[in-house]
Amino acid sequence: MSILTAGKILSLDNLRHALVRPRRAGKKVVFTNGCFDLLHPGHVASIERAKNLGDILVVGLNSDGSVRRLKGSPRPILPERARLEVVAALEAVDYVLLFREDTPELVLSILKPDILVKGSDYELKDIAGRQYAKKIVRIPLEAGYSTSAIIRKIRRS
């Protein structure tokens, strides 16, 4: 773990405890999640938009097994430890946690964020765990950025 990410990558139980004091102080907890396999400007923009909606940004990161089930082999390109470090190094991110399920529903049922943020490519009815958040915000995606498209481009080269 680097100096930049120390204390930002937490287990679910440690994160739940870390959020108690800020919540008592009235801070708003924002949650977003994804695979973040190859971090690109679209990811960074969505993370920064999510942060701007509240005080504390928690990013849920799909485990390697979860990414493989959702995206197929040979994904993920980067292993979960590397993806955790890269996402945690972003200034907008307060905490990152790894989840092994295909969706963050269990995590959301425990954390109960004030705001759950997903991309506008998700229909409200398809957002896992939406019932555990006080508010759902769908943010526009950055045009021209897609991990799958980047991987296809690399393979063609």
| pLDDT, one tens digit for every residue, the chain (157 residues) | 566 677 999 999 999 999 999 999 999 999 999 999 888 889 999 999 999 999 999 999 999 999 999 988 888 999 999 999 999 999 999 999 999 999 999 999 999 999 999 999 899 999 999 999 999 999 998 777 776 667 677 777 7
What's the pTM value of the predicted model, to 2 decimals?
Answer: 0.91
The pLDDT, as a whole number, for residue 3 is: 62
C-beta separation of 75 from 152 below 8 A? no
The pLDDT, as a whole number, for residue 4 is: 63
